[in-house]
Amino acid sequence: MRKFLCGLVATSWWLAAAPLRAQQPCPSFSVVVNTPEDELMLAINGAENPQEQVAALDKFMQEHADSKFIPCVNEYYTATYLKLNNYDKAIEYAEKDLAANYQDLSLLLNLMRAYVASGKVGDTVLDATTKVPDLIKTEISPSRPPNASDADWQKIQDEAAETANNTRAFAVYAFFQVIPRVADPNKRIEWLDKFGKAYPEAENKYAGQINNAYFMAYLQGGQLDKATAAGEKAVAADPSNIAAYNWLAYVYAIVNRTNLDKAEADAKKALELTQTMKKPEGAPDDAFKMEVSNQVGMAHLSLGYIAFLKSSKTKKLQPAIDEFKTAIDSLQGDPAHQGEATYFLGYAYEAGYPANHHGAIEALTKSAELPSRFQNDAKDLLAKVKKAAKE
């Protein structure tokens, strides 16, 4: 019988085999020498490139479609297509195995890698991330070899623990990469709940990430009380979370107007943090500059609305107008919020005494063209302002 422990160092092989076993494809399969399965494995291991590996897998599938080895073939297809950056094919073959109730850590990790790289999301990858902790217990559980010294046994355990930690860490990383792609906020919340059950340490160890994810899901779903509670937890766990500060300011100031002082403090904190934003490694310069600009714009949008609400007492609209203008200039990469800022600017122009019809018309015309939640309001107000300007 030949086990799939390819690539291990010949000397002291038993030291490396136990902890690395979980990273190898098809850990539950064995291959008999001089069988079609053995021939396939030799072809895969001897191939000079992934294309040759695919050809070997195709040949086996054509000649042995009813083999009990097919789950392992699908797993090798997954790994090979991943090498070729053909993420759709990698996902397709991994999900064939999952549909047939076959799974192991290597398969799930490659499925996660394919989904993360593809930019897609599906229940299978989210489910895979929640299954990793239990699979780690079953696959990364070394047994002490009979002749192993205490030092060798400690090394085996240390390597197994490192493998388990790295595997768990990647599953968590994959989860937080794909969960924002779930469009339905209620479904996102369901998966966050499942993730918390699979990773009991999440509330403490990943507090910033998980609370931020809950925050955005509750916010999108209109559950404002739960959203602000999660948002406050998110910034408490990660005081550098600019987006969370901005969204909290937006909710407190614009959405429910419950706490203008808190909103102002959060918006100013977001502005302060934008001064120290660092470009993620590999991120395009233009995309990073746009993100910084959008965060600056969101802060000024909230500050403008706060100033507008306070103008009823101060009788000064110019601070709000200036903030809205800065927001509009900064939100070039966020047309939805830019549309809000232009609507508020037009409203502010018209609220002055005397009303600035020309400025209002210019701002509202732009707002009516942008896909914000105030687009229809902008069109209605624009018609009224035009009528008032003629009188």
312 within some domain: no
67 within some domain: yes
- d(C-alpha 166, C-alpha 175), whole Å: 14
Beta bridge partners of 31: 2
Looking at residue 258, what is its pLDDT?
83
Average pLDDT over residues 338-355: 95
Handedness of CA 301, 306, 307, 312 (dihedral sign): positive
- Name the DSSP class of 35: S
Q: How far is CA 48 from CA 44, 53, 79, 211, 269, in A?
A: 9, 8, 15, 46, 55
CATH number at residue 163: 1.25.40.10
Above pLDDT 90, what percent of the chain?
A: 79
Looking at residue 358, what is its pLDDT?
96
How many other C-beta atoms can be found within 10 angstroms of the C-beta atom of residue 250? 22
Looking at residue 21, what is its pLDDT?
43
| Diameter over CA atoms, the chain | 99
315 within some domain: no
Residues contacting 340, CB < 8 A, separation 6+: 254, 301, 367, 372, 373, 374
CB 263 within 8 A of CB 249: yes
DSSP string for 18-35: HHHGGGSS-TT-EE-TTS
Residue with tokens 């003629």: 390
> Mean pLDDT for the chain?
90
CB 360 within 8 A of CB 346: yes
Considering just the CA atoms, what is the radius of gyration of the chain in Å?
28
Structurally, the chain folds into a number of domains equal to 1
160 within some domain: yes
Average pLDDT over residues 154-158: 91
- d(C-alpha 354, C-alpha 229), whole Å: 42
Q: Which of 21-25, 74-78, 231-235, 349-353 has the lowest mean pLDDT?
A: 21-25
- d(C-alpha 367, C-alpha 379), whole Å: 8
177 within some domain: yes
Residue 30: phi and psi, rounded to 5, are -125, 155
Above pLDDT 70, what percent of the chain?
A: 94
205 within some domain: no
Looking at residue 15, what is its pLDDT?
30
- d(C-alpha 270, C-alpha 253), whole Å: 14
135 within some domain: yes
pLDDT band at 202 (very low <50, low <70, confident <90, very high): confident
What is the domain extent for residue 119?
2-181
Does pLDDT of 7 surpass 60? no
Looking at residue 4, what is its pLDDT?
32
Residues contacting 334, CB < 8 A, separation 6+: 294, 297, 298
Does pLDDT of 9 surpass 80? no
Angle 375-390/357-367 helices, nearest 10 degrees? 150
Interval 286-299: pLDDT, tens: 999 999 999 999 99
Q: Which of 130-144, 186-200, 330-344 has the lowest mean pLDDT?
A: 130-144
Give the count of alpha carbons within 13 A of 157, CB side only: 8
- d(C-alpha 109, C-alpha 104), whole Å: 9
308 within some domain: no
Does pLDDT of 19 surpass 70? no
